Amino acid sequence: MKKNQEYKELSDKDLRERLEAEQLDLIQTKIYHSTTPLDNSGSIREKRRNIARIQTELRARELKKD
């Protein structure tokens, strides 16, 4: 719940920037994991979940505007 509250406090612009950063980080982590196994492979799952949380918050704001 802590993450969700953090995302609700950010502006739309900040959320979009964070989304892009998370997506790039996920891609880089996947590439790195394919060459050298990660110590904590759960970090990939956590990055995907963070991306989903951000997208959910952005979508909720879009629906609220209508």
For residue 58, give both structure tokens. 């952005």
3-state SS track over the chain: CHHHHHHHHCCHHHHHHHHHHHHHHHHHHHHHHHHCCCCCCHHHHHHHHHHHHHHHHHHHHHHHHC
**For residue 2, is pLDDT > 90?**
no
pTM of the prediction?
Answer: 0.88
Q: What is the pLDDT of residues 53-66, one digit of tens each?
A: 999 999 999 999 87
Q: What is the pLDDT of residue 25?
A: 96
Domain encompassing residue 41: 2-65
Q: Is the per-residue pLDDT at 1 higher than 70?
A: no
User: Domain total for the chain?
Assistant: 1
Q: At 42, which CATH number?
A: 1.10.287
| pLDDT tens per residue, range 4-32 | 888 888 999 999 999 999 999 999 999 99
